[in-house]
Structure 1
Amino acid sequence: MELEKKLGNKGKTISVSEDVSVTILDEKLNKLLKRIELELYIDHIRSGTPSRKDVQKIVASIYGVSEDRVIVKNILSHYGRGSSKAYVHIYEDISLARLVEPRYIFKRLGLEQ
């Protein structure tokens, strides 16, 4: 499985810009659904909550996959703290994602009209 080779980033902190850093809190391989399930902590003290598209680009660059295979489930901001948690799935194939994920998620990410 191609995704197994991409694991091993749990606990790493990646500085995205001067104002934003991402820490990978949890990383699981779901063999049945052929996806990686991520829990991210995003520190954005001097800026607003990053958009789904921004998180999608960041995760795609960290894991070296195309952006259309990255599905951002949700981003939960902590009030008054300048930090958020994000839950993300990375699929081996976008056709698998279309079978499992709700259609509105694709609309939010701009992957479907």
Structure 2
Amino acid sequence: MPMPIDRAEQDPAVRALTELVTVLDSCMAELGGARVRAEKLLEERQSGRSWLDIVTTESRPLVVEQISSVMAALASAGGAWRREQAYALASEQVSINRIAAMFGVTRQRISALLRERARTAHA
């Protein structure tokens, strides 16, 4: 049975998943740009330029900076989603063991996620 829209807007898991989708879209765009720039760097290297010359003339953010930024954004949004999803499942009386099996982690990791979620909810 679908969740009514007003309840969905108040659901922290829905908010976390919505934020994850937004971050994924942004990361995909950023990675597309990084890929184009990486191809340009390959062309420059294949034309005989030194790595020092290539990197010192590359505009910022560097490809490695873009990748680091994407990884940090995904870790943050993905972590928030994982915590909210674990909490939502636990709230539906799904056992920690079953959540752990679904997530492919240990029950201790799920317990830690639920504790983290409780701390962030009260902060």
- Between 1 and 2, higher relative CO (CA 8 Å, sep ≥ 6) is seen in 2
TM-score normalised by L of structure 2: 0.22
> Which of the pair is proportionally richer in strand?
1
TM-score normalised by L of structure 1: 0.24
> Which of the pair is proportionally richer in helix?
2
